[in-house]
């Protein structure tokens, strides 16, 4: 696979991941570009070409962390206790949710959840590969995905109640009748 082909195949999902981390277009473009420059100088040494995609996402994530460390101390985020029960989502919400609302809600998630959830929704990587990219155990990835989705749904409801574009979730059946 040559460099142009590699860029063509991966620059869009990489940029989307970078944007979810950096939260602005300029930094996301810089991160994406820097990642490919690293590939041009070092990445081609990778013995297993099938791992190129994971290498690119891992490198981008490390670039992001190191650039942020340079800017300020990396904040330690306490995770809330896991939801005892995951919220359900009304079908209408799913059908009517628009892209802007979905991406806006995703961008407002805690950093801890945003990275794994974005990788998950990009569908490029399995949970095991996400664990490799983020450098955390598989169980932690599963936990963050679960909690992140719960937070995402809550956020969508909150944004909606505050008058945002997001369509509200309908209350769960059990709550309505119980």
Partner 1 sequence: MDDAELQLRLCACRPHGQDADDPLMRAALDSLPRHPGLEAWHQQQTDFDRAMCRHVGQAPVPARLRAEILAAAKVSRARGRRAVLPWIAAAAMLAAAAVVFWMPRGNGVLSFAEAEVELVKMFDRMQTEGFSLDHVSDELAEVGTWLADAGAPLPYVVHAGARAATPMGCRVLDWRGGRVTMICFRKGGDSAHLFVLDRARLAEGEGPLSRDPAPVHHVDGRPVTAWGCRKCLYLLVGGAKDTRLDDFL
Residues from 52 through 81 that contact partner 1 (CB under 8 A): none
How far, CA to CA in Å, does 137 sit from each of 42, 56, 132, 155? 26, 19, 8, 26
Output 88 or 161, the one with its CB closest to partner 1.
88
Q: Which stretch binds partner 1 (CB under 8 A): 8-16, 52-60, 63-71, 157-165?
A: 8-16
Mask 100-139, x = binds partner 1 (CB under 8 A)? Answer: --xx--x-----------x-xxxx--xxx-----------
Closest CA to 7 of 42, 35, 26: 35
The smaller minimum CB distance to partner 1, of residues 47 and 72, is found at 47
C-beta closer to partner 1: residue 79 or 82:
82
Tell me the window of 56-64, 65-73, 83-91, 160-168 that interacts with partner 1 (CB under 8 A).
83-91
- Choose which of 91, 175, 176, 178 interacts with partner 1 (CB under 8 A): 91
User: Where does this chain bind partner 1 (CB under 8 A)?
Assistant: 1-4, 7-8, 11-13, 15-16, 19, 25, 29, 32-33, 36-37, 40-42, 44-45, 47-50, 82, 86, 88-91, 93-95, 97-99, 102-103, 106, 118, 120-123, 126-128, 141-143, 145-146, 149, 152-153
């Amino acid at each position: 696979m040559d460099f142009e082909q590699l860029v063509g195949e991966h620059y869009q999902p990489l940029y989307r991941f970078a944007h979810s981390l950096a939260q602005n277009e300029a930094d996301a473009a810089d991160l994406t570009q820097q990642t490919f420059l690293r590939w041009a100088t070092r990445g081609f040494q990778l013995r297993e070409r099938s791992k190129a995609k994971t290498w690119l996402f891992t490198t981008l994530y490390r670039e992001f962390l190191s650039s942020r460390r340079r800017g300020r101390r990396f904040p330690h985020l306490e995770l809330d206790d896991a939801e005892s029960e995951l919220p359900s989502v009304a079908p209408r919400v799913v059908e009517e949710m628009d892209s802007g609302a979905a991406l806006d809600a995703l961008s407002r998630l805690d950093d801890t959840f945003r990275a794994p959830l974005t990788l998950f929704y990009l569908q490029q990587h399995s949970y095991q590969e996400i664990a490799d990219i983020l450098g955390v155990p598989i169980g932690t990835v599963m936990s963050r995905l679960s909690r992140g989705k719960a937070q995402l749904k809550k956020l969508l409801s909150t944004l909606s109640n505050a008058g945002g574009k997001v369509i509200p979730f309908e209350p769960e059946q059990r709550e309505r009748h119980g």
